[in-house]
């Protein structure tokens, strides 16, 4: 049996906020047209989907990505631009410039900060970045002013349904970070990895101090027969947003390694019915 942590007074994710999907990045719309179309199907419990054109927004607007993002937005979905923090190694100005291109070209509703650091020492740098991104999402007012400071210590007002004012920010740690990160974003990815690790995972004790739904679990290699068990783990650990797939990313002898999250899981219809109908939040 998996090691499940106590809810610690926390409501299950399905009671505190509706369990739904966060899509960490389908392949380019020309390579994955079915996947992008499925996200606009009425009743799909989608919380957000990440748009990654070319390790970011690319060098110029991509008409196919613009069309896919526009259709999803018009259907009521939330599109997040993919920003790679390289565990804190990317220059601040590069990250903010990529964010500006995402907003100008694709009108995204927020950002997914991939490979986000987890340590306390890196927290001020990430706080500075999220403050600048929030300014951009608010309409650009003050973005240049924030870029001149090393840190930004004011906490934004959090609304349990709308998230933070101005846009939506998800920190893609992949594991539990220092708890201070929970104060500077809407959601934290506290697990990203294979089912073989997830089934024995535990939530950090500090997560019990936050409402269910603030955490995201992205799990690959989940067998169809273990879907219910995987969803039970997510609920117990307070994850409100999930993406489970039976894909593993292993090469098939003809193709290179790829992300297991680039395509629909083989049991997409089944997991949609298990999670239940919903709307983008």
Give dist(CA 248, CA 10) in Å, integer.
32
Contact status, residue 169 vs residue 111, Cβ threshold 8 Å: yes
* Nearest residue to 274 (alpha-carbon basis) of 217, 234, 216: 234
What integer is the mean pLDDT of 213-223? Answer: 96
Across 58-67, average pLDDT: 96
- Average the pLDDT over each of 45-49, 53-57, 132-136, 211-215 and give the range with the smallest value: 211-215
Three-state DSSP class for residue 21: strand
Six token digits for residue 47: 């919380």
> Helix, strand or coil for residue 189?
strand
Q: Is the pLDDT of residue 278 over 90?
A: no
In the 8-state DSSP scheme, what is residue 157? P
Pairwise CA distance, residues 123 & 117, whole Å: 8
Compute the distance between CA of residue 60 and CA of residue 179 in angstroms, rounded to an integer. Answer: 37
For range 93-105, the mean pLDDT? 97
Predicted pLDDT of residue 87: 97
Which pLDDT does position 13 carry in this prediction? 32
CB-based contact 136:106 (threshold 8 Å): no
Average the pLDDT over 210-223 and give the result: 94
Q: Is a pLDDT exceeding 50 seen at residue 82?
A: yes
Q: Please state, for a pLDDT cut of 70, what percent of the chain lies above it.
A: 80
Instruction: Enter the tokens of residue 268.
Output: 């997409």
Q: Are 245 and 260 in contact (CB under 8 A)?
A: yes
CA–CA separation, 134 vs 140, rounded Å?
A: 8
Reading the block at residue 40, the tokens are: 């606009």
Q: How far apart are CA 113 and CA 126, in angstroms?
A: 9
Dump pLDDT digits (tens) for 231-277.
Answer: 999 999 999 999 999 999 766 555 445 789 999 999 999 999 999 76
Q: Does residue 217 have a pLDDT over 80?
A: yes
Q: Once rounded to an integer, what is the mean pLDDT over residues 123-142? A: 87
Does the pLDDT value for residue 143 go beyond 60? no
Cα–Cα nearest to 10, from 206, 229, 244: 206
Residue partners of 93: CB distance under 8 A and separation at least 6:
147
pTM of the model: 0.84
DSSP 119-133: SSTTHHHHHHHHHHH
Residue of 192, 168, 190 whose CA lies nearest to 178: 190
User: Rounded to 5 degrees, what are φ and ψ at 113?
Assistant: -95, 90
Name the more confident of 259 and 177. Answer: 177
pLDDT tens-digit map of 3-53 = 333 333 323 333 345 799 999 999 999 999 999 999 999 989 999 999 999
């Amino acid at each position: 049996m998996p090691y499940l942590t106590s809810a610690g007074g926390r409501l299950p994710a399905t009671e505190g906020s509706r369990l739904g999907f966060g899509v960490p990045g389908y392949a380019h719309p020309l390579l994955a047209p079915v996947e992008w179309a499925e996200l606009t199907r009425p009743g799909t419990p989608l919380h957000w989907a990440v748009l990654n054109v070319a390790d970011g927004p690319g060098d110029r607007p991509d008409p196919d990505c613009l069309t896919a993002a526009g259709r999803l937005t018009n259907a009521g979905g939330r599109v997040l631009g993919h920003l790679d923090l390289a565990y804190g190694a990317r220059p601040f100005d590069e990250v903010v410039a990529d964010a500006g291109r995402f907003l100008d070209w694709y009108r995204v509703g927020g950002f997914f900060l991939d490979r986000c650091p987890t340590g306390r020492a890196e927290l001020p740098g990430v706080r500075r970045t999220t403050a600048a991104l929030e300014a951009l999402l608010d309409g650009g007012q003050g973005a240049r002013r924030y870029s001149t400071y090393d840190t930004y210590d004011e906490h934004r007002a959090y609304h349990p349904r709308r998230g933070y004012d101005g846009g939506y920010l998800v920190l893609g740690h992949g594991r539990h970070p220092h708890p201070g990160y929970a104060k500077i974003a809407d959601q934290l990815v506290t697990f990203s990895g294979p089912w073989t690790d997830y089934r024995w995972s535990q939530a950090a004790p500090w997560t019990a101090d936050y409402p269910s739904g603030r955490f995201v679990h992205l799990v690959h290699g989940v067998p169809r027969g273990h879907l219910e068990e995987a969803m039970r783990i997510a609920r117990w650990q307070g994850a409100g947003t999930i993406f489970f797939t039976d894909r593993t990313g292993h090469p098939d002898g003809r193709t290179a390694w790829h992300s297991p999250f680039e395509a629909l899981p083989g049991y997409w219809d089944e997991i949609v019915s298990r999670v239940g109908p919903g709307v983008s939040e």
